[in-house]
Amino acid sequence: MSEEVKMPQMGESIAEGTIVRWLKGVGETVKRDEPLYEISTDKVDAEIPSPASGVLSEILVGEGQTVPVNTVVAIINGGSAKAVESKPVEAKPVEAAPTKAAPPVEAAPPAPAVAAQVGPQTIDELRRTKSSPLVRRIAQEHGIDISQLEGTGISGRVTKNDILSYIENRTAAAKQAPEAPRVAVAQASAPARAPQPLKAPSEVTEIGPQPFTDGDRVEIEPMSVMRRRIAERMVESRRISAHVTSFMEIDFTKTARLRDQLKGEYLKRDGVKLTFLPFIIKAIIEGIKKWPIINSSVWGDQIVYKKDINIGVAVALDWGLIVPVVRKADEMSLLGLARAVNDLGERARNKQLKPDEVQGGTFTITNPGVFGGLIGTPIINQPQVAILGIGVIKKKPVVIDDAIAIREIGLIGLSFDHRIIDGAVADQFMASVRDVIEAADYTS
């Protein structure tokens, strides 16, 4: 009996997903709940388990393709015409695609027509017949011969990404007529799966000047969905908020001693690794209670104060950056915070986060110090108004009462939205954080 594998609904606000990688190939045996493929959305990257045990008999959506949720992406234990008919071949058009209605002849479902193809075909014929109505319509409107394009879809099919990238490169070439030879090199060097723009600010989607010349040795690859989303958000945040960053030095010595006292107990009794992060979160919570503007958002000409304190913790991944959220962190103990931070970080690295676990943050922490960074100037995570960067914490000689002492010293840097947070308030907030850490007072 056939089992359809569908693009999952990863959250109410998520309408589509991109197949990043198939973990099994056609003909391979797969067990129920065994990771089958990886997807990327504008919220999270995740491994998707197989819905059934059996043999992966057909892959209907290739790597790099974006399709709506509930699209049939594969068949386990054999396919059927019904299964093929239920599969939307292409994702909804992005802004760059033409928006006028398709001719009536294109309105019929494309999949049965593809399934009816029999007999030998050339590669060019295969590209034409396996391209969707949307792709063929775009090609017709732009006077493009699909058979001349290198398709990245299954069996050489020209995908929407392929044709939009071709149009984008051709448009850029037309705008830079004197540079035509260089553009030709770019087209020859870049893979056909070059990235299509997301719905992002123009600073992200603009191609800009060509970054190489004829004869340069270059390798070009598209941004991942996550990387394009990060680019979009970072540019958008700098455009929205008036960024200012202030720094403060903190003596972590007493907190380091407390951590040393507790970490063995936490690990042995609870299986929880205790880092400095839960202590810093506790200190931030006390600072927000005194300065609630830090836990707010700007909405037009109004300020929205958040009653819950939801702390986002940036996690560096090999393929990007993600910010899972510790919800209602002010209601947690030190142990609860340590457990939550460890759990979210581990599941982020294993692609097991759910979309609602990366949403709803009211304040964010990023930790360049974990890699030895002295400090950073982080960009605000919209629609928040502040983000705290934590530098490396290490022993240093400092002067105390006219004597040199060895202390655990670290820097923090607060980037804040100067539209509603004044420098004095930012410094007072950081002073509150400093006072809690230096006194190691985490009783409240």
Cis peptide before 103 (omega within 30 of 0): no
Is 270 one of the catalytic residues? Answer: no
Asked if residue 3 lies in contact with residue 25, where contact means CB atoms within 8 angstroms, the answer is no
Quick one: 30 and 153 in the same domain?
no
In a domain, 53, yes or no: yes
- Alpha-carbon distances, residue 289 vs 248, 308, 428, 444 (angstroms): 19, 11, 12, 11
Quick one: 66 and 136 in the same domain?
no
β-pair partners for 227: none
**DSSP summary character for residue 156:** G
In a domain, 95, yes or no: no
Quick one: 306 and 369 in the same domain?
yes
| Predicted local confidence at residue 115, as pLDDT | 33
Quick one: 180 and 254 in the same domain?
no
Q: For residues 316 and 382, what is the distance between their CA atoms, to the nearest angstrom?
A: 18
Quick one: 199 and 282 in the same domain?
no
How many domains does the chain fold into?
Answer: 3
Quick one: 253 and 144 in the same domain?
no
Q: For residues 295 and 429, what is the distance between their CA atoms, to the nearest angstrom?
A: 11
In a domain, 302, yes or no: yes
In a domain, 269, yes or no: yes
Q: Which of 36, 61, 88 represents a domain boundary (last residue)?
A: 88
In a domain, 114, yes or no: no
In a domain, 192, yes or no: yes
Total residues found in the chain within this entry: 444
Q: Locate 378 and state its tokens.
A: 């982080």
- Alpha-carbon distances, residue 64 vs 150, 157, 159, 166, 377 (angstroms): 15, 13, 10, 16, 33
Q: Are strands 311-313 and 363-366 parallel, antiparallel or unpaired?
A: parallel
Quick one: 364 and 397 in the same domain?
yes
In a domain, 116, yes or no: no
Quick one: 156 and 271 in the same domain?
no
Helices (H), 294-388: 334-349
| Predicted local confidence at residue 102, as pLDDT | 40
The DSSP line for 40-59 is E-SS-EEEEE-SS-EEEEEE
| Predicted local confidence at residue 97, as pLDDT | 37
Q: For residues 16 and 42, what is the distance between their CA atoms, to the nearest angstrom?
A: 9
CATH code of the domain covering residue 32? 2.40.50.100
Q: For residues 171 and 267, what is the distance between their CA atoms, to the nearest angstrom?
A: 59
The whole-model pTM stands at 0.63
β-pair partners for 400: 403
Identify which of 72, 71, 68, 29 has the alpha carbon closest to the alpha carbon of residue 52. Answer: 29
Active-site option among 418, 427, 435, 441: 418
Q: Which domain, by its residues, includes 145?
A: 123-240
Is 142 one of the catalytic residues? Answer: no
Q: Which of 69, 88, 107 represents a domain boundary (last residue)?
A: 88
Quick one: 331 and 431 in the same domain?
yes
- The owner of tokens 């009794």 is 269
Identify which of 95, 91, 90, 93 has the alpha carbon closest to the alpha carbon of residue 111. Answer: 90
In a domain, 111, yes or no: no
Q: 154: alpha, beta or left, given left = phi > 0 and alpha = psi -120 to 50?
A: beta
Q: For residues 205 and 201, what is the distance between their CA atoms, to the nearest angstrom?
A: 7
Q: Which residue type, as a one-letter code, is found at position 134?
A: L
Q: Which residues are CB-neighbours of 177 under 8 A, at least 6 positions away? A: none
Q: What are the φ/ψ torsions at residue 275 (nearest 5 degrees)?
A: -105, -175
Quick one: 280 and 411 in the same domain?
yes
| pLDDT string in tens for the chain (444-residue length) | 789 999 987 765 577 888 988 999 999 999 998 989 988 876 778 888 899 999 999 999 998 888 888 899 999 985 433 333 334 434 444 343 333 344 443 333 433 333 333 334 454 554 454 566 567 767 877 788 877 787 776 556 677 777 787 887 776 666 555 443 433 333 434 343 444 444 434 444 456 788 889 889 999 888 877 788 888 889 999 999 999 999 999 999 999 999 999 999 999 999 999 999 999 999 999 999 999 999 999 999 999 999 999 999 999 888 778 899 999 999 999 999 999 999 999 998 888 888 788 889 999 999 988 888 889 899 999 999 999 999 999 999 999 989 999 999 999 999 999 999 999 999 999 999 999 999 998 886
Q: For residues 254 and 51, what is the distance between their CA atoms, to the nearest angstrom?
A: 51
